[in-house]
Structure formats: structure tokens, C-alpha cells
Amino acid sequence: MLYLVPTPIGNLKDITLRALEVLKEVDVILAEDTRITLHLLNHYQISKPLTPYHQHNEHKILQHLADQLCAGKKMALVTDAGTPGISDPAFLLVRECVKQGVTVTSLPGATAFVPALVNSGLPANRFCFEGFLPLKKGRHTLLESLKTEERTMIFYESPLRLVKTLNEFAGYFGPDRECSVSRELTKLYEETKRGRLSEVADYFSQKTVKGEIVIIVKGFEAAKNKKKQPDAQ
């Protein structure tokens, strides 16, 4: 059995009772950063063996973990914050478990983009999650393809690249496109800034930005109330 266990994105109270039960019951916990996970486990007085599982070693230990799971071990996979598989490692192991017939259970819980989206004031009935944009190859092509995306768009970004990315969005989507930027969600200095892309970029250019960043951008709206073209005679 493999459990995908969401962990708090900031406030340690944002973990479910079921998640704590699973972490207590499994044989081993796979952790993106064992130091961060150990802090969480110590807070809840949970003592379990930890195995590093991250983007730099997931290919190397994949088969070993799959063999242990097939042999009957119960494992929980956690990331530093949020839900495994959302811009964090999980896909390769889940795919292998499905292939091997190992039961995979994903627990509901914390993830950064959901509170950022519903708190943005932008439409949340239809949205697309883009995560972290490519840094170089494919970035221009992707942004070009999103210029006419009608759904609300969700991006993750680092604080060091935030202003540059917002200005880039203004160039592709237009400076007046509405957006919302949330950082340090659930933490002491939580902040959400809403407005036009040009305004929000200017706001963050004048301050030191820290913490995890979620950018929400309103989708493309075609011109409304267009005059109907007369039918061809």
C-alpha cells in the first residue's frame, strides 16, 4: 500500500486527523527533505523511519521501493509542503505502483493553489494549472499558447523571479489583465495582492519578496456584444 499524504503548506495545524493516523501506521515515510518532514513528525510526536525521495534520486530507487511495496510494506509519500504530485515528485512511483498492482491511496489535504484561487476574486469555475513555467526552452511557445486561454490560469513562481514573470505576463496577456498574487499562505506574513498585471508587478518591484508564490491570472475574454455580420446574399 502506498499513501500519498498532503502536509501543511505553512501552518502545522493544517493537517488532517487521517493523515496523522496514516503517518503513525506505515512502515516507512518517503520524504522530499527528511529534515523538514522530521520537524513535522516531532511536532506530532510521530517516530517512523524516513527515506529520502526527491527529483534527484527517484529514478534510482524507484524499483527498490516498488519491490518493497510488492512485498507488503506500507509506505507514505510526503513532500516538503502540500500534496505529492503537484509540482513535486510522485508521478513515477504512482505509475509504477499501478503497473505492479500496488494499491495507491491519495488523502485529501493542503495544496497551495486552491486557497490562492478561491481567494483571488477571479473565476474559479474553470481553471488550468500550469505550475512552474519552463525557464528557457518552451517558455515562449507556452506563453503564446496561453494568450487566448479562456480559463483562469494558475502558476507557481519563486520570489526571485516574480516581478520578471509578472512583467512577462503583461507583455503576453496585456498590462490590464487582472491577476492575483498570493505568498506565504497560512503563515504569519500571508499576503494577497490583486489588480492589473502592471500594477501588481510595480507593487512587488518596490519590496523584498519572500516565500512561496502563487500567481492567478484571469483568462482571455473575447470582445463582447460584437455586432453580427450580415448574412451573405
**3-state DSSP of 15-74:** CCHHHHHHHHHCCEEEECCHHHHHHHHHHCCCCCCEEECCCCCHHHHHHHHHHHHHCCCC
What's the CATH number for 2-106? 3.40.1010.10
pLDDT score of 80 more than 70? yes
% of the chain surpassing 90 pLDDT: 93
Sign of CA dihedral 168, 174, 175, 181: negative
Contact between 7 and 110 (Cβ < 8 Å): yes
State the pLDDT at residue 227.
45
pLDDT score of 226 more than 70? no
Predicted confidence (pLDDT) per residue in 157-193, tens digit: 999 999 999 999 999 999 999 999 999 999 999 999 9
Contact between 138 and 34 (Cβ < 8 Å): no
* Start-end of CATH 3.40.1010.10 domains in the chain: 2-106
What mean pLDDT value characterizes the chain?
Answer: 94
What phi and psi values does residue 79 have, to the nearest 5 degrees?
A: -115, 180
What's the CATH number for 113-217? 3.30.950.10
Give the SS3 label for residue 208: coil
Contact between 123 and 179 (Cβ < 8 Å): no
State the pLDDT at residue 203.
97
